[in-house]
Amino acid sequence: MTTVDLSVLADATAAAVGGAVSVMDPAGYVVAYSSLPGQPIDDVRRDGILGKQVPAEYMAHHTDEEFRRSSTVRIVAVAGVLPRLAVPVTSGGEYLGSIWCIVPTAAVSPPEPAAMAALLRAAAEAIPLLSQRPQAVGVEKPRARELLTDPAAVTPDGQLYTVLATRVQSDRPDAAASRLRGMLDLTFGQQLDSGAVVIDGAVFLVMRSEIPITVDEFEHVRRRAVSALGIPVTFALGGPDERPMTARVHAQWALDACEDGAPTIMFEDVRVQSALRRAGAVLSEVSLALPAVERMLSCDASEGTEYAATVLALLAHESNVAAAAASLYLHPNTFRYRLRRTKELFGLDLDDADTRLLVWMSLRLRAGR
């Protein structure tokens, strides 16, 4: 089965009923639509075709269980949207999708019996076409889940993998994740060893890195997802790596460094920030600071001094007093005085390399939290 088959059916139905037709799968994805000229359309149809799925605010009409179990044509009239005739496509009790036809007069006068009959025939003819579709949207691929969760998963020698980690902000996170997973599978999941799965409520997409897809292409899909779901969606990429799970971890670290709805980023672009963030999180329960550092921080907090900032500037500028002083807009002599006071007041000795490392880690990770 190809999309062409369903598009032919959509055109034939649009001609018979007299209105623009869209064919949907069970998750609300637009799998085919008519293209006959001169038939009225609205923004919902345009957005659905551009985003490849029904806009989020209209999904309730597609997920209505009474509609899915029925075998009749329904009139759907929503304020600000052209009325539609809708018919479910079912086989043996299984809901395969639906057919929707814009009929501007449907809300004010009963549809013609011929139009209703044409839609019912279209639903019957759509059964074999929709039942033959790859079940990418409805069923996760076991291989994709294995690659993303099993450290012992066997992969071809030298094969590199890229993983996309995503985050959605929704009051219905499970439904949003399911729709996003389906969208990613339809867009990227048709290649070998590729697929999207939901892990702990988040959607991850794994794919072989030889597939030529750019960050801009992922960003285009992210924006489409935002439009279709009507909620903030965030993407981050990890890899390429021979181990899909490593690529997944890196994608998650990059995602953790993103604000909600930020443009798509790669782990390599935020590797340093991500590493510091992770180090700070892992060590948050362990006091890295020397007692001298704790006393210095306590003094800063109670007295309003800036000894910690002075020490951190010195370490950040590799003990270059002139550069460190300039970064704090201080005279070098004032800067040196502050350093002497840290030793006099707190016993902080920065002559030892290991001590400098420990002091830097303590102050830097504390500042990063």
Predicted local distance difference test score (pLDDT) of residue 31: 87
Predicted local distance difference test score (pLDDT) of residue 285: 62
Predicted confidence band at 133 (pLDDT cuts at 50, 70, 90)?
low
Is it the case that residue 138 has pLDDT exceeding 60? no
Residue with tokens 């018919």, as numbered in its chain: 87
Q: What is the mean pLDDT of the chain?
A: 86
Is it the case that residue 309 has pLDDT exceeding 80? yes
Predicted confidence band at 172 (pLDDT cuts at 50, 70, 90)?
confident
Higher pLDDT, 281 or 20: 20
Higher pLDDT, 57 or 308: 308
Predicted local distance difference test score (pLDDT) of residue 183: 76
Residue with tokens 């890196």, as numbered in its chain: 250
Predicted local distance difference test score (pLDDT) of residue 13: 92
Say if CB 54 and CB 65 are below 8 A apart.
Answer: no
Predicted local distance difference test score (pLDDT) of residue 55: 78
Predicted confidence band at 1 (pLDDT cuts at 50, 70, 90)?
very low
Nearest to residue 22, comparing CAs of 44, 39, 45?
A: 45
Predicted local distance difference test score (pLDDT) of residue 117: 92
Residue 102 forms beta bridges with which residues? 84
Q: Summarize pLDDT for 189-233 with one digit per residue, the tens.
A: 667 788 899 999 899 999 998 877 789 989 988 887 887 778 899
Predicted local distance difference test score (pLDDT) of residue 190: 66
**Cα–Cα distance for residue pair 324/124, rounded to 1 Å:** 76
Helical pair 244-256 and 271-282, crossing angle rounded to 10 deg: 90
Mean pLDDT of 123-143: 75
Look at strands 74-76 and 84-91 and give their pairing: antiparallel
Distances (CA, A) of 270 to 13, 32, 85: 51, 40, 49
Mean pLDDT of 18-28: 88
Q: Which range among 175-189, 204-218, 222-236, 319-333 has the greatest average pLDDT?
A: 319-333
Predicted confidence band at 137 (pLDDT cuts at 50, 70, 90)?
very low
Is it the case that residue 318 has pLDDT exceeding 70? yes
Q: Summarize pLDDT for 89-103 with one digit per residue, the tens.
A: 998 888 888 999 999
Is it the case that residue 342 has pLDDT exceeding 90? yes
E strands of the chain, at which residues? 21-24, 30-33, 74-76, 84-91, 94-102, 161-168, 195-199, 202-208, 233-241, 265-266
Percentage with pLDDT > 70 across the chain: 92
Predicted confidence band at 166 (pLDDT cuts at 50, 70, 90)?
very high
Q: Summarize pLDDT for 59-78 with one digit per residue, the tens.
A: 778 878 888 888 899 999 88
Whole-structure pTM over 0.85, yes or no?
no
Higher pLDDT, 135 or 219: 219
